Amino acid sequence: MAPMIYTLYGFAIFFFIFWCGLWLLHLIAIVYGKWKLHNRDTLTPREVPYAGVSIIKPLVGVDPNLFVNLETFFTMNYPKYELLFCIENESDPAVMIVKKLLDKYPEVDSSLFIGGCEVGVNPKINNMQPGYACAKHEYILISDSGIRMKEDTLLDMMHHMRDDVALVHQLPFTCDRDGFAATFEKVFFGTVQARIYLAADLLRINCHTGMSALMRKQLLDDVGGLRAFGCYLAEDFFMAKSFTDRGWRICISSQPAWQNAGLCEVTSFQARLTRWAKLRVAMLPPTIILEPLSECMVIGMCASWAASLLFGWDSVVFYMIHILLWFLLDWILLSIVQNGALTFNKFDFVVAWMFRECSSPYLFLHALWDPTIRWRSRVFKLAWGGIAKELKSRIKY
């Protein structure tokens, strides 16, 4: 009987300490986010000339906001950059969109690459390879199709590229859009995602999503260029890892990445979250235990039981206070990341927040149940360590 009691107390102590650690992450994210994000001091004039940047834009298909999103890259306030648009299929309607912009802004150094180059299983790497091979500047910015830039976004990113930094990426966030799905996305990126990103940046932990990432090209070339990461689906994580393994730093810029996809649906976003969870599990197996425990509802139940066993506190009252405080801190963090008035009220936030917190454990279990990854018309399976194998080849016409 005694070993069982000791085991229960051991679990209770672990859960309570883990719970305290999550509150510390909350506070770190809020304080660091208030200092780091939307900091105009980062845009002080430089004495040295600005280095050139080659911006690679991999495109597949068209959504209603594609034209306006791409146009923001032609109007940036940066002295020297080139735009390299990469489209795998010549019949893709994105080709017409890009050609219209090339005609509209002939003064901007820009090129269109069609056809891709198969260097691995990663479709994004294959699509970008021709553009990367022709990039002429010392810095590479890989930017997803749904990203919207401000005039000074590239300036802000380059100001964070210090002598010891190899990669500057942006905190994922979303533009203001209407509808519950848009609110759901903004709540996710402005709370749980922002908390992880900000704490990881301060603690210098590799937590990188490559939707908008500025890198030193020479450091990529030293390990074989983009093609060296073609065997991974989470190429962004392994690019960052290759830098940190060589002693370089990665950091976030002060401006978030403004995702502005024209199509916004709850089911498609949940599929995206599930795919990310599958990648994390394959790359970092400890997330199988740690990630569910970091969720508000799960750790709240565990900590409530632990507090009842260790201190005799009322577990129901403890759980309700836990949820209320978590909710309030998430609202504060979201307001910091937004840096302005939110487009939805507190009731909308409550509904979206509860939906995210309650659905997240289910999505994670679904990711464990079905480890295959579906990416558009292709199906992949990940081995431990993140190396991908395609299970279903593309249909070629």
Which residues carry out catalysis?
236
Rounded (10°) angle between helices 180-190 and 192-203: 20
Rounded (10°) angle between helices 94-104 and 66-74: 30
**SS3 per residue for 205-270:** CCCCCCCEEEEEHHHHHCCCCHHHHCCECCHHHHHHHHHHCCCCEEEECCCCEEECCCCCCHHHHH
Q: How many helices (H) and strands (E) does the chain have?
A: 14, 13
**CA distances from residue 201 to 102, 194, 219, 310, 380 in whole angstroms, order as listed:** 37, 10, 20, 34, 30
The CA-CA-CA angle for residues 129, 272, 34, to 5°, reads: 90
d(CA 330, CA 345): 14
Query: Where do we find the tokens 């208030």?
Result: 34
Strands across the sheet containing 81-87: 110-114, 81-87, 53-59, 139-143, 212-216, 165-169, 249-252
